[in-house]
């Protein structure tokens, strides 16, 4: 990674498994998977060095059985330059440093297509082991933010900055016990099983 890390990344087991599946499909020459993989690795790089701070903060939709994700942020990327909006998303959580002098933590929870089945956010809730109908008391510090995903950049940027400030001030908040630091994963270390198909992968973690 070219830039100095400004965050320590943690991955849920679900995120790591999805990344592994995308990486293996790319190594086997799947053209769509190659595009997803390259954009995904770039986005992870940018989350680590702080050049990516999200597309929009998430909200509490437990009232309609879609869960409380007020501590979650969605980042997007488009696998086709003709798309007006990203077709893939990452949901991640900003957390304070886990030790004195440490870097703030970003926990990568789920990655997938925006229109995937089962629903993207229901899979996110499952990764976080949350009941979709229960609002979380610990998320009350975020208030009741308005949904801004469809709004302009100024509205989204202001909402993201507010969410970030609140998240960093939440002393004692930790990644899931099942989540592991990115450094413990061996992404980008495998060789292609299909050297004659697809383009070579140009990035690794």
- Sequential pLDDT tens for the chain (205 residues): 457 899 999 999 999 999 999 999 999 999 999 999 999 999 999 999 999 999 999 999 999 999 999 999 999 999 998 998 899 999 999 999 999 999 999 999 999 999 998 899 999 999 999 999 999 999 999 998 888 888 899 999 999 999 999 999 998 999 999 999 998 886 654 444 443 433 344 444 5
Asked whether the beta carbons of 201 and 191 are under 8 A apart, the reply is no
Neighbours of 118 (CB within 10 A): 9
Asked whether the beta carbons of 107 and 95 are under 8 A apart, the reply is yes
What is the 8-class DSSP label of residue 40?
H
Dist. CA 76–CA 82, nearest whole Å: 15
């Amino acid at each position: 990674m070219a830039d100095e890390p400004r965050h320590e990344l943690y991955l849920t087991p679900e995120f790591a498994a999805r990344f592994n599946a995308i990486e293996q499909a790319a190594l086997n020459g799947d053209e769509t998977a190659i595009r997803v993989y390259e954009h995904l690795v770039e986005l992870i790089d940018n989350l680590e060095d702080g050049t990516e701070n999200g597309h929009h903060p998430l909200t509490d939709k437990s009232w309609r059985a879609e869960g409380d994700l007020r501590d979650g942020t969605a980042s997007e990327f488009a696998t086709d330059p003709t798309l007006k909006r990203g077709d893939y998303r990452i949901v991640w959580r900003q957390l304070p440093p886990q030790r004195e002098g440490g870097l703030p933590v970003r926990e990568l929870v789920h990655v997938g297509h925006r229109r995937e089945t089962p629903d993207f956010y229901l899979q996110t809730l499952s990764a976080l082991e949350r009941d979709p109908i229960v609002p979380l008391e610990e998320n009350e510090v975020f208030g009741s933010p308005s949904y801004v995903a469809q709004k302009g950049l100024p509205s989204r940027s202001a909402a993201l900055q507010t969410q970030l400030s609140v998240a960093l001030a939440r002393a004692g908040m930790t990644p899931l016990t099942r989540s592991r630091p990115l450094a413990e994963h061996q992404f980008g270390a495998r060789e292609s099983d299909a050297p004659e198909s697809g383009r070579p992968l140009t990035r690794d973690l």
